[in-house]
Structure 1
């Protein structure tokens, strides 16, 4: 079958992706730092003590500066304590107990982020991780509470069903993209809505609705269908995190050590050149979206078989959209995405403690995440703030002067 010309044309969006993902790791680190600085300024600007000391700033400026500094630092200290290390906390892991919650929240972020990142490497915008998580979670949950099987077999079937559900939902987008030239951004966004409203309808049917319950929630999954806990019963961390590590290794191998991964990267770099070199672009487009959907499907499994243990219409939360941010921060690399997922998991885990301890709104964390995306997408801005362009020009002038 002839390949649709739209499927192999190189859109401007691919050039944008290449500029973002070929930036240095230093720019990513500086983007996070700059976002935290701006977030700290916003925290201080909305603090009551800062506002009260601002009224007599010129009389006693030190009061204002001290309140300003304390507002920002206290919030970030509370965030750290709620996400990584909290002195005085009891439990099997002591002060490192909060880190278990960070890893739990990071698990679906990592796997869905890998799905988005893999598609990005092939020059495709997978905005459909949200829908892929919903479909996978729906299938996995149904097998989990409707089927009653032995412990190992049951969990295995739940995981496979989740992966296949996400892969089918993503692969359908890839098929339409390859065969008709339809834009994957439009397709994935619309598929997100289809998946969400289909789930809401299913949760009103007798097959899914918990008996005697009016709220849209399924029965609890059988214990044989659940991921086992790996850090003790006091913590929610489950086997899904180990699966996320395995998925990261698998994606790294796929992209860097396999022929199929080479084809994906070739298409992302230049679809026309890849086609000329003999790469079946249509086939690769379908495969990359299917694999990306399967990776996002692991997030749905982690939610229903690990963290929540039931299915609701909030199964995907905002993980599918946050996955885009995670992939951006990780510069579309497997291990970069993994650590970006850990960072965003820490933000989510620590935000509650930050609000309880300092009164800082949780929304500040969302602002910081948004700022990270802004700075990641604008490397020249970050370089200009830290004077990296001036240093580069100065070095170039020195070399030119020496040559003269």
Structure 2
């Protein structure tokens, strides 16, 4: 049996998903649940009617952008664990600008989206700068900046934006991504136009990395900094630029929640997990733009469909978290799957 490298890269996440679902089925059996009924309930909870389908696509939207943020950094040799903090700051910036400015939608909405991207980019700039100039590992800095983002946003919401309240006012319609047409089409789900922005961002990532000279430099620096420096590339500048672009994608993910799903910002008792789930999305998607979109669709399906499992099959939603964890485990252990496929390839010659 012959496997090309491209086919191997496609088979690894596919097999990982299958193995994760298979292990999840055995776990359901072990606890006395019917896995067929459980997965059927999950499917119906994600695609059973137009409302659930709209909610699934709504959940997919920020996952695409947070996955792109992680994947872009990965492709350039960086590990951006700070996507969660960048999501929070993008969320905050989008709502803040939405409330602070009074303008027609044609001006207001683009300003809000740009503000979210700039906030995420700014939150990615500092780790990139410290990495480029002082060699400080970006994992440490970005982890710490997640907590700084969380508590800074809470303080700003309570003391600056909302005048002592735990949430801001709702943003005006001129700054909102919501759509009455999409809502009516999906039985008034929270689906909004942000999905189009997320898909466009995936195309932008592909274009930057694969069709531009700057993208070639970014990938080259990620592959080998010494060789890139010898070739005349500015390694430090490319590291900073990579983190800035990654942060911009994450900031847009926050905007999808701030001006799309919820329409406000509130004091948070913990992380949104959008950024952390983006790590899993990027891994499953092979750090490729189209792969991230497909992986985000899978994760959105699992997250939304899981809500129907307790009522539809009596299966606790925590079992879906186990399935997701197993998928990530098999993706992280992909070298075993790759070894098996390559062995089959050699035997087939």
TM bucket normalised to smaller: over 0.9
**Contact 1:141–1:304 (CA under 8 A) maintained in structure 2:** yes
Residues in 2 aligned to 1:152 and 1:228: alpha-carbon distance in whole angstroms: 14
1:288-307 superposed matches below 5 A: 288-307=242-261
Q: What SS does the corresponding residue of 1:204 show, helix, strand or coil? A: helix
**Contact 1:300–1:316 (CA under 8 A) maintained in structure 2:** no
Correspondent of 2:45 among 82, 85, 95: 82
Query: Does 2:135 align with 1:181?
Result: yes
Residues in 2 aligned to 1:98 and 1:112: alpha-carbon distance in whole angstroms: 22
Gaps of 5+ in 1: 1-20, 51-70, 87-94, 400-404
Residues in 1 aligned to 2:81 and 2:97: alpha-carbon distance in whole angstroms: 27
Q: Relative contact order (C-alpha < 8 Å, sep 6+): which is higher?
A: 2
Partner residue, 1:154: 108
Query: Does 2:279 align with 1:324?
Result: yes
**Contact 1:132–1:170 (CA under 8 A) maintained in structure 2:** yes
**Contact 2:225–2:235 (CA under 8 A) maintained in structure 1:** yes
Partner residue, 2:203: 249
1:87-236 superposed matches below 5 A: 95-205=49-159, 207-209=160-162, 213=165, 216-229=166-179, 231-233=182-184, 234-236=188-190
| CA apart distance, 1:210 | 6.1
Residues in 2 aligned to 1:311 and 1:279: alpha-carbon distance in whole angstroms: 41
**Contact 1:174–1:285 (CA under 8 A) maintained in structure 2:** yes
| CA apart distance, 1:97 | 3.7
TM-score (norm 2): 0.92
Residues in 2 aligned to 1:138 and 1:356: alpha-carbon distance in whole angstroms: 35
Q: What SS does the corresponding residue of 2:182 show, helix, strand or coil? A: coil
Residues in 1 aligned to 2:95 and 2:271: alpha-carbon distance in whole angstroms: 13
| CA apart distance, 1:147 | 2.5
| CA apart distance, 1:391 | 2.5
Residues in 2 aligned to 1:327 and 1:210: alpha-carbon distance in whole angstroms: 38
Deviations 1:207-255 (CA, angstroms, capped at 9, x unpaired): 32267x4xx2111111111013252341211111000010001101001
| CA apart distance, 1:299 | 0.7
**Contact 2:178–2:190 (CA under 8 A) maintained in structure 1:** no
Partner residue, 1:38: 23
Residues in 2 aligned to 1:117 and 1:195: alpha-carbon distance in whole angstroms: 21
Residues in 1 aligned to 2:337 and 2:38: alpha-carbon distance in whole angstroms: 24
Name the one with the larger helix percent.
Answer: 2
Q: What SS does the corresponding residue of 1:173 show, helix, strand or coil? A: helix
Partner residue, 1:64: none
Deviations 1:364-385 (CA, angstroms, capped at 9, x unpaired): 121111111111111243357x
Gaps of 5+ in 2: 1-5
Compute the RMSD of aligned alpha carbons.
1.9
| CA apart distance, 1:389 | 5.5
The higher radius of gyration belongs to 1
Correspondent of 1:73 among 31, 36, 40: 36
Count of residues paired in the alignment: 339
Partner residue, 1:14: none
Correspondent of 2:322 among 367, 370, 376: 367
Partner residue, 2:9: 24
Residues in 2 aligned to 1:251 and 1:383: alpha-carbon distance in whole angstroms: 26
Moved over 4 A (4+): none
Q: What SS does the corresponding residue of 2:183 show, helix, strand or coil? A: coil
| CA apart distance, 1:199 | 1.4
Query: Does 2:344 align with 1:394?
Result: no
**Contact 2:158–2:267 (CA under 8 A) maintained in structure 1:** no
TM-score (norm 1): 0.80
